[in-house]
Amino acid sequence: MGLNVTNLTDFVNENKMELIKKSILEGRTMDYVVIQPDIKSSAAINIIDSTIQAQAGGCSFNDLGSTELKQRNISVDAVRVNESICLDELEAKWTQSLMNKGSYNETIPFEEIYVQDKAEKIANMIETMVWQGDKDTGVGNLAYTNGFLKVIDAEVALGNVIEGNVEGETSITVANIISIVDGMVDSVPEAIINADDLYLFISYADFRTYARALRNANLFHYDGQEGKDFIMTIPGTNVTMVATSGLNATSRMVLSRKANLYVGTDLLNDYEDFDIFYSKDNQEVRFISKFKIGTQLSFPDFIVEYTNA
């Protein structure tokens, strides 16, 4: 009888390739909003708003016009990420080849890429929380803070936000997205229409739909470079379209000034910081990341938002 190897698992050289982390969309919203640091729980955004009333010239004095000082509070929520790794569990797997000799290993053998992966995942999580967080109905990571959409929807209910779905569209398609975006731009209040910090935030999928619609309509010379980094100037306007993973799977768009969108935190780099250490009491490596996050608008009436009808 010949050699029988049916009970052996086929060999796979798991040590041949380096450990590869899964690629994700890194957060970018922080580059296009106002970051308000040094908030432990809540703080006030101080706002000044005035009206001017011209009068005919003369020697008399007639008090007209007004100046209003007001505030909008921005609250932050404390969030943490905890993870533990029992290094002994790595000894029975291919990872044993990466570990130091002896039974007292106290560091993850792939710590550098582990930390890099965690940092990027946390950044992506925060990006989504900043937009879709909802402490009332949020699920999973979205349940711990209120994002811009939650704040905007509350202002919509009060009639304080501009409706951007001017045609009452029920979906976003290649056929209608150009008119949708044009309708949003046309809805920008005249008071800020010449601002140099107007941004239209959109999901990656809808950004690609818009770019495809422009290409198909041949509205501008397309050389393959426009929007390659998922940022483009909307043709003929001073509005910059920015794709964010925070709006993925929402069919929502938000257009406003950078100066109108606030993200609160404690330390500016809190969400980039972390602690990784070996716990002798628990015989495991522990990862801890703690940060505070919250959102607010300074002028809700300068928000143009799109939601499918």
Rounded to an integer, what distance in angstroms lies between the CA atom of residue 184 and that of residue 180?
A: 6
Phi, then psi, of 238 in degrees rounded to 5: -105, 20
153 to 45, 82, 94, 113, 156: CA distances (angstroms) = 19, 32, 50, 39, 5
Least confident window among 65-79, 121-135, 141-155, 260-274: 260-274
177-188 pLDDT, tens per residue? 999 999 999 999
Rounded to 10 deg, the angle between the 177-186 and 204-217 helix axes is 100
pLDDT at position 242 is 96
91-120 pLDDT, tens per residue? 777 766 677 676 677 788 778 888 888 888
Domain boundaries, the chain: 29-45+65-307
Q: Which fold has domain 29-45+65-307?
A: phage-related protein like fold (3.90.1690)
Q: What is the residue-averaged pLDDT of the chain?
A: 86
